[in-house]
Structure 1
Amino acid sequence: MAVLVTRPHPDNETTATALRARGFDVLLAPMLRFEPLPFRDDADAGYGAVIVTSANALRGLESHPGGHRLFELPLFAVGHHTASAARSAGFTAVMSANGDATSLRDAVLAAVKAKQIRKSRPLLYLAGSDLARDVAGELGGRGLTVVTCTTYRMAAVSDLPRAASEAFAANQVEAVLHYSRRSARAFLEAVRAAGVEISALAILQGCISGTVASILREAGATQVLAAPSPDENALLGVLERALRP
């Protein structure tokens, strides 16, 4: 019996390694595909800091020849994974909000209040084309100027890998892990198209947050668990307690 990981590549490989270390068999079925977009910003903007809510935004920056000038700026990351990706990319002053977009917003506001970053300087938000939360708008409502630069998009994958379809049909999957609302919706469409929706929704659905979990419940899944905090360690902990009590 395997755990199906719907997380996009390459992060799904990290998840697979963590699952195997816990004794699980793994199937990979990424439901979103990373696509970098041209990075365009004003070289003379004089940004005060960088905001990132996904490691994918940093991958979208990799091919931009002028991106290195941003490495000198403080960077606020939504969580540990994104913070680690920022350090690997070349940023040196990295702060992790250790949570979600609300924690990130509050961390930026706290840094402004403590005069760690100047309120008069615009903040550069490296973002994806589909935003689950209007972080820029929330900070703008607090008097900050935020410039949003779209560096990537995640395209929905319409088909399940053949190995995943066959595993569902043979009842060889014991749980599915979901990491975003968009990937959960893409998963639902893919299992319907493959004709394995009943078996796919009859097993445990592990979700990174309550909002993701609600999509699976609305689709008819009855074994749905949400991580107590929006990070992978919490999600894997939920999975392990459910399947290996």
Structure 2
Amino acid sequence: MTPRPQEAAIRALVTRPQHDAKPLVEALARRGIGAFICPMLRISVLTDTLIDLAGVQAILFTSANGVRAFAALMPDREIPVYAVGDRTGAVAAENSFSQVESAGGDVEKLAALVVQRCDTTGGVLLHPAGTMVAGNLSGRLEGAGFAVRRAVIYNAHQATGISHEICMALLNGDVNLVLFFSPRTAKTFVDLAISQGLELACERLDALCLSNAVASAADHIMWRRVLVAPEPTQISLLATLDNRLSTL
């Protein structure tokens, strides 16, 4: 059972979209950490999108949001899938894709995996994604001789404010740490925190960041400590959290 945030000795702020927040909250609960959910992005599927699967040899997913949006739009599950990380791969498997392989990391690792597994003459690589993408997956693969077709299938709307409940928790010192999984999420939170006068409250928090790029997006505000996962995966970020907990 997930504890209420107020009942836990250590409390975290989870900034992931709603779908991705739940497994993270459960992972935190297993560590005795309560969680306030404060999504910085809201995902909406672009239901009018037409996806061309003609000549596609593989689908490349760079986020769990892309998997869910594609699954909502298309019934096809037989085309091989290459996922940027284990969580994205797990969501693809949960949505009944029959052939899924995870790169276990970031866009560069995904590109390297695709170059190893796919044939430049075998057909198009389809990259279903949002209106904004991080990294240069298409450029990396096109440079290796592949044809890449990007399909824009969802929008990630930035939060326009931090709720009163979360603001009060921050101001009252009821939050000990915040987790950031993308540069856009980190920047959105920082911008809102500054605009809502929460800078001093954030100085009491540890900021746990998925990568150096995420940490850079969070560095426009002072934190008690900034911790960066050695690998850009949730498992690695949680291991970083475990190491931090051992010092408290």
Match of 1:96 in 2: 102
Residue 160 of structure 1 deviates from its aligned partner by 1.0
2:237 paired residue number: 235
| SS of corresponding position for 2:240 | helix
The answer on whether the counterparts of 2:167 and 2:198 sit within 8 Å (CA) in structure 1 is yes
Cα distance in 2 for partners of 1:63, 1:174 equals 37
Quote how far apart the aligned CAs of 1:87 are. Answer: 1.3
**CA distance in 2 between partners of 1:121 and 1:187 (Å):** 40
Give the match's secondary structure for 1:68.
coil
Superimposed CA distance per residue, residues 143-185 of structure 1 (whole angstroms, 9 cap, x where no aligned partner): 1001000111211102112221011111111111111111111
- 1:40 is matched with which residue: 44, 47, 50? 50
Is the contact made by 1:158 and 1:189 (CA closer than 8 Å) also made in structure 2? no
Give the Å deviation of 1:222. 4.8
Extract unaligned runs of 5+ from structure 1: none
* Aligned match of 2:29: 20
Q: Distance in 2 between matches of 1:153 and 1:16?
A: 24
Cα deviation digits, residues 24-54 of structure 1 (max 9, x gap):
11111111111111331225x2211111110
Q: Determine if contact 1:126/1:149 at 8 Å carries over to the other structure.
A: yes
8 A contact 1:204–1:224 mirrored in 2: yes
Q: 1:134 to 1:96 in 2, by over 3 A?
A: same
For 2:212 and 2:72, the matched residues in 1 are separated by 35
1:5/1:16 contact within 8 Å kept: yes
Aligned to 2:3: none
Kindly indicate whether residue 75 of structure 2 is the aligned counterpart of residue 68 of structure 1.
yes
1:123-134 to 2 correspondences below 5 Å: 123-134=125-136
Residue identity matched to 1:103: K
- Tell whether the 8 Å contact from 2:199 to 2:221 is kept in structure 1 after alignment: no
TM-score, normalised via structure 2 length: 0.91
Per-residue deviation at 1:239? 1.6
CA distance in 1, matches of 2:91, 2:183: 22
Query: For this pair of structures, how many residues does the alignment match?
Result: 237
CA contact (8 A) 2:13 2:177 kept: yes
Cα drift, residue 103 of structure 1: 0.7
Task: Tell me: higher relative CO, structure 1 or 2? Use CA pairs within 8 A at least 6 residues apart.
Answer: 1
Q: Kindly state the Cα deviation for residue 215 of structure 1 after the two structures are TM-superposed.
A: 2.1
User: In the TM superposition, what is the alpha-carbon distance from 1:220 to its structure 2 partner?
Assistant: 3.0
CA distance in 1, matches of 2:58, 2:210: 28
Unaligned 5+ residue runs, structure 2? 1-9
Q: Name whichever of 180-189 and 119-128 sits farther off.
A: 119-128
Distance 1:232 1:169 in 2: 27
Task: Tell me how far apart the structure 1 counterparts of residues 234 and 37 of structure 2 sit (CA, whole Å).
Answer: 16
| Matched-pair contact (CA < 8 Å) for 1:124–1:149 | yes
- Contact map agreement 2:202 2:224 (CA 8 A) in 1: no
Q: Distance in 1 between matches of 2:200 and 2:154?
A: 33
What TM-score do the two structures reach when normalised by structure 1?
0.92
**1:200-234 deviations in Å (ceiling 9; x for gaps):** 23321000111111222243335101001011111
Distance 1:119 1:110 in 2: 13
Name the Cα RMSD after superposition: 1.5
Q: Match of 1:76, SS?
A: strand
Percent same amino acid at aligned positions? 31
Query: Corresponding residue for 1:220?
Result: 222
Q: State the Cα distance separating 1:191 from its structure 2 match.
A: 1.4
- Equivalent position of 1:138 in the other structure: 140
- Check if 1:78 corresponds to 2:84: yes
Distance 2:149 2:130 in 1: 13
